[in-house]
Amino acid sequence: MAEKKFPSGFLWGAATASYQVEGGIENTDWAQAARDGKVPPCGSACEHYTRFENDFDIAKSLGHNFHRFSVEWARIEPEEGRFDEREVEHYRNVLRALRVRGLEPSVTMWHFTLPLWFSETGGFERSDSPKIFARYCAYVAGKLGDQCTHFTTINEPMVYAGKGFWEGLWPPFRENILRHLHVVSALAAAHRAAYKAMKKVRPEIQVGVTKHNIFFESNSNPFNIVLHVFIDWFWNHRFLQLIYGHQDFIGLNHYHHKKFGTTPRERAAAVRSDMGWELHPASLYHSLIALKRYGLPVYVSENGLADAVDSRRTEFIKNAVRSVHRAISEGVPVKGYCYWSLLDNYEWASGYGPRFGLVEIDYATQERRIRKSAYVYKQICERNALLD
């Protein structure tokens, strides 16, 4: 058996997002969409808002030394321009709870859900949205920046704009490509403004985005080659180019592989998660290599699968770790890996069906049960290596 050793100080952990795990958040566009019957209700989720210390005990017991989570904008700024100190104190307690357990925190400012006052007045279609977002981010960086050095502004801008303004499946349920393009530009402007405002308040912190990138490839058909090159640029690189010079690292959220021109045999042979997403063993490697050109540190900020019976998660994690190791050995400065997710949680329009967690949640009792694959990941985290 060979040992795939990682650089010392490599960060290993898992990610969550506030709306998906905390519970009790009613003043967002998603909560409103649930009241309107357009998406499943979120309700009390994993009650992580009150159970976070217990959940971090579990993360620590699983060998993690890194944890990515998001703060809920609607809690911190419940009305336009009014900030709630008690909620800030809550997140300071969350950060302290991570620190005392030796878990390095990474904070995401905005993970899909918007405060109602903002969504109802136009959200990122408002002409002053970059200013509003930057004010919120600077406020949070000022309040939390002594406890945390690693911040991301926006989670998956292309997914937010794609689902909400192109496919019309998520709030605000628009299907308009022009609006989609406008919102992508507004998000880039919002990130740039937030980056500058945060660095002004706390020059010492590291600020980036988490970018959902897909491994695209094609067969040898010239049409498919052109299509693949264009889509690869449009989905994976355009936003990163729009924010060029305004990021200290790149957060990579990776889930998908798409080949233009697959054969029926390839489609039939693909191994899939419970979401029907193809599990390509080396797609994370290819997505990491594609980020080398930016010359920035990279964190795998999300990577995981829905697998209720936990039959594919162990192999998935091992493949991911192999991918990261290979990318590092080829010169990509990957600094950490976050499995998605620590806990089963609210999977947006798919509700509570999909099970992404290292830890299973019984939603009736809030009981936590650690899945077997989490122990395999634990060995990797503790050894800082994969025995392969």
Q: Contact region for ligand FCB (CB under 6 A) — 54-62, 78-86, 88-96, 155-163?
A: 155-163
Task: List the catalytic residue out of 302, 315, 360, 367.
Answer: 302
Give me the least distance between CB of 20 and ligand FCB, in Å please. Answer: 6
Select 155 or 236, whichever has its Cβ closest to ligand FCB.
155
Q: How many helices (H) and strands (E) does the chain have?
A: 15, 14
Strands 215-218 and 249-253: what pairing?
unpaired
Select 218 or 273, whichever has its Cβ closest to ligand FCB.
273
Give me the least distance between CB of 115 and ligand FCB, in Å please. Answer: 18
d(CA 23, CA 36): 18
Rounded to whole angstroms, the maximal C-alpha distance in the chain is 59
Select 6 or 299, whichever has its Cβ closest to ligand FCB.
299
- Looking at 47, 104, 156, 344, which residue binds ligand FCB (CB under 6 A)? 156
- Looking at 212, 246, 318, 325, which residue binds ligand FCB (CB under 6 A)? 212
Does residue 125 carry a catalytic annotation? Answer: no
Select 201 or 308, whichever has its Cβ closest to ligand FCB.
308
Phi, psi of 373 (to 5 degrees): -60, -25
Alpha-carbon Rg for the chain in angstroms: 20
The SS3 assignment for 272 reads: strand
**Contact (Cβ atoms closer than 8 angstroms) between residue 70 and residue 111:** yes
Q: Is 22 in the site for ligand FCB (CB under 6 A)?
A: no
Tokens of 364: 């009736």
Q: Contact region for ligand FCB (CB under 6 A) — 42-50, 55-63, 90-98, 154-162?
A: 154-162
Q: What amino acid positions are annotated as catalytic residues?
A: 302
- Interface residues toward ligand FCB, by CB under 6 A: 17, 20, 155-156, 159, 212, 253, 302, 340, 347-348, 356
